[in-house]
Amino acid sequence: MNRPRHLVAGLFLLAAACATTGKPYRTEVSHEANLHEFQILQSVFRTQYSGQHVEDFPGHGRVTVRDISLDGFPGNTYVRCRFHYQNRTSTPVMQAWVSLDVLDADGQVAGTQSVRLVMPTSTAIARGSYYSDELRTPTNDAHLRIGWSWRLRCVSDAEQADEPLDPPVQEWQPRVSTPFFIKDRSWPYPTWWSYPDGSGGNWR
């Protein structure tokens, strides 16, 4: 009498197991397809932007992109840019900002990241000096549409001369001691000699 019930329960469990295993399989296939598409986009990006890219910003300096790539994974994709900044202005630079923007197919900013370049010793970036860093800007899926791009921006603050005080402060001058001479005792200075009776005598 209980056999039909057991048979029905077994068929129900089998159907549930089939339904449960089917959904993850389709999800796995979808993830593999997205990953394959992303790898194709990475290859295209690498081909388009291989080599170094130099951009001059008059009055602010030069930014040289040593390496730029499309990294991450589907759902968390970003543009990674390794660069160095060179102060090619006429004055030392106290600090500079370099920004990496990701533009969508319509030319609108889809993501941006900036980095501040400042010497750890609080000294200015001298003329001709370099500063290296890295930026990572999320694409926010802008890379999925044809026509997206990226750009760099750079702004710097030149070193300013100190404003003179009024009235001026007297500058400290080191104390200068009076020079003195040490007599060389080893020098054969002349001495007076004479005979015992007081006659003669000469310097020698």
The position carrying tokens 């000699």 is 193
pLDDT category, 169, cuts 50, 70, 90?
Answer: confident
The domain 50-158 is placed in CATH, from the list 2.60.40.10, 3.40.190.10, 1.10.3720.10, 1.10.10.60, at: 2.60.40.10
| Tokens at 148, concatenated | 């997206």
pTM: 0.66
pLDDT of residue 24: 54
| Tokens at 16, concatenated | 């549930």
Other CB atoms within 10 Å distance of the CB of residue 146: 6
Query: With 90 as the cut, is the pLDDT of residue 19 above it?
Result: no
| Tokens at 186, concatenated | 């080893």
Query: With 70 as the cut, is the pLDDT of residue 2 above it?
Result: no
Query: With 80 as the cut, is the pLDDT of residue 98 above it?
Result: yes
Share of the chain above pLDDT 70, in %: 72
Q: Which of 51, 122, 49, 125 is nearest to 88 (CA)?
A: 125
pLDDT of residue 1: 47
Q: What is the dihedral of CA 125, 126, 127, 128, to 10 degrees?
A: -80
